[in-house]
Amino acid sequence: MNTVGKIMKKNLCRVNLIILIFLIFIGINVLPSTIGNVNIQSNDYFSLNNKTENLGLLSYWSFDEGNGNIAHDSSGHGFDGTIIDSVWITGYSGYALDFNGESSHINLDLYSKNLGFNKTDDYKISTWIKSESDESGVIYMMTYSSPIPIFYIKINSGGTLQMKIESTDICGLIINSTNSYNDGSWHYIEGIYYGSEVNPLIELYVDGELVGSDLDWLCPMISIQFKLAKIGMATNESEFFDGIIDELKVYKIPGGNKPPTIPSCVYDKKNDELMVNSTDTNGDKIRYGVSWNNDQNVDDWTEFYDSGALVNIDCEGNKGPIGVIAEDINGAQSGWVSVTSKAISINIPLILEKLFHRFPFFEKILNQIIL
């Protein structure tokens, strides 16, 4: 064979090899681009106790004025209270109000209908208290003049705490803590009412720990039934609180707030993206949190999207188990879902071995190129 022929033969072999490599490349890339195992984990029901700080904020009395007889509402709703016989004092944060246990209180009657709630609402009271008294004293209370319905959180004689709600004489929920909290130390109190379920639930937390709960049927009630609202005393001018109250907040979510559904989640290998989707019962906008190592701690949040919208999340090269959670604009969260992305490993020697076994002439072509 002359020199020109040899050159042409080598060039032809090179072309064939290029075609072979191209075919292998195409074969790899036409494999399914959606790869991954999905694992759905438990869906925790919406809890005011561990969601965003401003979730459903209705009123906020910080008691940081330090002077005067008005407790200003910092929520923006203007539910300012009138201070009676209470003394400004250093509080848990900034200033606070010291209640004397005899006549001190804050009058909020003007806003009782606004501060009240329906049976189907979710509702929360949170505050810091400090007391050494052995006498019972109401921290926060709302009633009708009869006095049903009634809602309050108070410290009992002996220092235990009580939370109670009654919609009629025969329908009510009540909690009494086991431990006492009249030790002269600051304690953070959270009383939560979940009314969006068939059988409403109340929970009482002290310093982040659940100290009691009650679940039962509750007769209907509406917010406009509440006529009186007080801080620091019962609405019938008894059980005056003896101690300091600071940072009192009220939260309300009308009709309750259901969390978004657990996201559907698929890994798109071709684009290295997660394709996620969730719907919200209330129609709220949704954002997605991603835990790149699936430890259920959110590393990155997306923007908020319309309920039901398909959202693509760039994986940024992260591989292995990835956790995703949905959160609505009020802070209600779904359960976690995990997706295990699997990268395709290519064993070139094994591919060539199988290729040569099926198409022996390819091995001859490769040998001629190498030689």
What letter would DSSP give residue 52? -
CA–CA distance, 316 with 332 (Å, rounded to integer): 27
Burial class (CB in 10 A: 0-12, 13-18, 19+), 192: buried
Task: Give pLDDT tens digits along the chain (371 positions).
Answer: 555 455 445 555 554 554 455 444 444 343 333 334 444 343 333 344 444 455 689 999 999 999 999 999 999 999 999 999 999 999 999 999 999 999 999 999 999 999 999 888 999 999 999 999 999 999 999 998 666 789 999 999 999 999 999 988 888 999 999 999 999 999 999 999 998 777 899 999 999 999 999 999 888 888 888 999 999 999 889 999 999 999 999 999 887 767 789 999 999 888 889 999 999 877 778 999 999 999 989 999 999 999 999 999 998 888 889 999 998 876 778 889 988 765 444 455 556 666 666 666 656 665 665 55
Q: Which amino acid appears at position 240 of this protein? A: F
Exposure string for 283-320, b = 16+ CB within 10 A, e = fewer: ebbbbbbbbbebeeebeeebeebebeeebebebeebee
Q: What is the residue-wise DSSP string for 272-337?
A: TEEEEE---TT---EEEEEETTSSS---EE---B-TT--EEEE-TT--EEEEEEEEETTS-B---E
The H-or-E segment that residue 105 falls in is strand 105-107
CA–CA distance, 234 with 223 (Å, rounded to integer): 18
Q: Are 140 and 130 in contact (CB under 8 A)?
A: no
- Please give the pLDDT value at position 344: 45
The pTM score is: 0.61
- Please give the pLDDT value at position 283: 78
- Please give the pLDDT value at position 16: 52
Q: Are 261 and 326 in contact (CB under 8 A)?
A: yes
Q: Which amino acid appears at position 265 of this protein? A: C
CA–CA distance, 184 with 186 (Å, rounded to integer): 7
- Please give the pLDDT value at position 310: 95
- Please give the pLDDT value at position 43: 33
CA–CA distance, 72 with 65 (Å, rounded to integer): 8
DSSP-assigned beta bridge partners for residue 214? 202
CA–CA distance, 324 with 330 (Å, rounded to integer): 18
